[in-house]
Amino acid sequence: MSWWLILIIVVVVILLIVWIISMYNRLVRLRVEVQQGWANIDVQLRRRYDLIPNLVETVKGYAEHERGVFQKVTEARTQAMDAKGVAETGAANTLLGQALGGLFAVAENYPDLKASANFLQLQTELANVEEMLAAARRYYNSTVATYNATQNTVPSNVIKNFGDFSEAEFFEEEDEAVRAAPQVSFEQ
């Protein structure tokens, strides 16, 4: 064999090794981005969970006889905090959102409560958390889509077998009312 042929083989092998390493590193980087996205969601969920007891106590001061609503919110919050995994967390937070909707419906019946500075501040903070949670969910789902697509395309699908790469779950809203497009009517 000539030394040119040996040199070409060595260069091809080196390029192949560099390519495999870069593909593996890309999958690792994407997996870390998915984990970071989930951590961002977790931070916003914790902020949401921390606001809820204050909100319940504020409403309780005005609507003491609405115990069933308070209990539903408290139980939904506990269930959401104890949820494990993406799917269970999504389902539990859907129930929590529904319970909070009931709490705000109760608040509508009490004009003094709606005018309370404390209630208004908590409502504003919760709205801000919900916006940040929606942004974190969009980021997370975007990184999950990229990560899963990269794993399932050639040649990355071959490389993924060398590491601990499994598809990530999307964090989806389970409440059909929230997912549905709003109906707009211009009838008079």
Q: What is the mean pLDDT of the chain?
A: 87
Mean pLDDT of 175-179: 51
CA atoms of 49 and 99, how far apart (whole Å): 13
Q: Where are the domains of the chain?
A: 3-29+44-174
More confident residue, 71 or 163: 71
pLDDT for 20 beyond 50? yes
**Contact indicator for 143, 34 with CB cutoff of 8 Å:** yes
Closest alpha carbon to 99 in 163, 34, 48: 48
Question: How many residues are present in the chain?
Answer: 188
The packing angle between helices 67-82 and 86-108, to 10°, is 160
- Peptide bond before 182: cis, by omega within 30 degrees of 0? no
- Which of 95-99, 143-147, 177-181 has the lowest average pLDDT? 177-181
CA distances (Å), 153 to each of 23, 27, 35, 65, in order?
11, 12, 21, 58
pLDDT score at 175: 57
**Main-chain dihedrals φ then ψ at residue 128, nearest 5 degrees:** -65, -45
Q: Can you give the pLDDT at residue 176?
A: 55
